[in-house]
Amino acid sequence: MFKIIVDFFIPALRDKSAEYQRRVRLVAYAIVVTMVFALFYVVVSWVAGYFTGLSIMMGSWIGYLILLFLLKLGLNVFKVANIFALIGVISIYGSIYFSGGFESPVLPWLASTPIVLLLIAGKKSGYFWAIAAVLVVLSFGLMDYLGVQFPKAYYASKEDYFALSCQTGLVLIIFFISIVFENLRVKAFNQVTQQKDALETTLTELKSTQAQLIQAEKMASLGELTAGIAHEIQNPLNFVNNFSEVNTELIDEMQQEMDKGNLIDAKAISNDIKDNEQKINHHGKRADAIVKGMLQHSRSSSGVKEPTDINKLADEYLRLAYHGLRAKDKSFNATMVTDFDESIGNMNVIPQDIGRVILNLITNAFYAVNEKKKNGPLTPEGGIENPQNQYEPTVTVSTKLIIPPAGGMRGASISVRDNGNGISKKVLDKIFQPFFTTKPTGQGTGLGLSLAYDIVKAHGGELKVETKEGEGSEFIILLDH
- 305: three-class secondary structure by DSSP: coil
In a domain, 230, yes or no: no
The pLDDT > 70 percentage for the chain reads: 82
Lowest mean pLDDT among 121-130, 158-167, 268-277, 420-429: 158-167
How is the beta sheet containing 411-418 ordered, strand by strand?
335-339, 394-402, 411-418, 472-480, 462-468
Statement to judge: residues 317 and 435 lie in one domain = yes
The pLDDT > 90 percentage for the chain reads: 17
Lowest mean pLDDT among 54-63, 212-221, 397-406, 461-470: 212-221
pLDDT at 382 over 80: no
d(CA 239, CA 274): 15
Domain end point (choices 148, 172, 204):
204
| Cβ-contact 238, 377 below 8 angstroms | no
pLDDT at 41 over 60: yes
Count how many Cα atoms sit within 13 Å of the Cα of residue 459 in the half-sphere of its side chain.
28
CATH of the domain at 342: 3.30.565.10
In a domain, 141, yes or no: yes
DSSP state of 378: B
- 466: three-class secondary structure by DSSP: strand
**When comparing pLDDT for 16 and 302, which is higher?**
16
Statement to judge: residues 198 and 313 lie in one domain = no
Statement to judge: residues 167 and 310 lie in one domain = no
- In the structure, what pLDDT confidence band is assigned to residue 393 with cuts at 50, 70 and 90? very high
Q: Provide the pLDDT for residue 283.
A: 77
In a domain, 263, yes or no: no
pLDDT at 433 over 80: no
CA angle 409, 411, 416 (to 5 degrees): 160
Count how many Cα atoms sit within 13 Å of the Cα of residue 445 in the half-sphere of its side chain.
20
pLDDT at 61 over 90: yes
Residue 46: alpha-carbon gap to chain centroid: 64
Q: Provide the pLDDT for residue 214.
A: 63
Statement to judge: residues 195 and 313 lie in one domain = no
Statement to judge: residues 316 and 200 lie in one domain = no
Q: Provide the pLDDT for residue 463.
A: 92
- 309: three-class secondary structure by DSSP: strand
In a domain, 286, yes or no: no
pLDDT at 336 over 90: yes
Statement to judge: residues 68 and 180 lie in one domain = yes
- β-pairing, 335-339 with 394-402? parallel
Question: What size, in residues, is the chain?
Answer: 481
The number of distinct structural domains making up the chain is: 2
- Residue 29 structural domain: 2-204
In a domain, 185, yes or no: yes
In a domain, 149, yes or no: yes
Q: Provide the pLDDT for residue 184.
A: 67
pLDDT at 414 over 70: yes
pLDDT at 290 over 70: no
**When comparing pLDDT for 381 and 238, which is higher?**
238
**When comparing pLDDT for 386 and 401, which is higher?**
401
In a domain, 265, yes or no: no
- pLDDT tens readout for residues 140-193: 889 888 888 888 877 776 667 677 677 777 777 777 777 777 776 777 677 777
Mean pLDDT value of segment 57-71:
92
pLDDT at 62 over 80: yes
Q: Provide the pLDDT for residue 230.
A: 66
Query: Residue type for 43, please?
Result: V
**Burial class of residue 386 in the structure, from the number of CB atoms within 10 Å of its CB (0-12 exposed, 13-18 middle, 19+ buried):** exposed
Statement to judge: residues 162 and 24 lie in one domain = yes
Q: Provide the pLDDT for residue 65.
A: 93
Q: Provide the pLDDT for residue 215.
A: 65
In a domain, 323, yes or no: yes
Mean pLDDT value of segment 420-440:
79
Mean pLDDT value of segment 43-56:
85
pLDDT at 2 over 80: no
Q: What is the average pLDDT score of the chain?
A: 81
Statement to judge: residues 334 and 475 lie in one domain = yes
pLDDT at 384 over 70: no
- In the structure, what pLDDT confidence band is assigned to residue 472 with cuts at 50, 70 and 90? very high
Domain end point (choices 174, 204, 234):
204
d(CA 332, CA 240): 27
Statement to judge: residues 320 and 427 lie in one domain = yes
Q: Which residues, at least 6 apart from 447, have a Cβ–Cβ distance to it below 8 Å?
A: 213, 214, 217, 434, 435
Domain end point (choices 204, 223, 240):
204
Statement to judge: residues 318 and 179 lie in one domain = no
- In the structure, what pLDDT confidence band is assigned to residue 415 with cuts at 50, 70 and 90? very high
- In the structure, what pLDDT confidence band is assigned to residue 217 with cuts at 50, 70 and 90? low
Query: Residue type for 376, please?
Result: G
Q: Specify which of 395-399, 405-409, 428-432 reaches the highest per-range mean pLDDT.
A: 395-399
Q: Provide the pLDDT for residue 458.
A: 86
Q: Provide the pLDDT for residue 251.
A: 86
d(CA 116, CA 180): 11
Q: Specify which of 36-45, 111-120, 331-340 reaches the highest per-range mean pLDDT.
A: 331-340
d(CA 263, CA 253): 12
- β-pairing, 411-418 with 346-349? unpaired
Residue 153: alpha-carbon gap to chain centroid: 67
Statement to judge: residues 331 and 441 lie in one domain = yes
Q: Provide the pLDDT for residue 294.
A: 56
- 275: three-class secondary structure by DSSP: helix
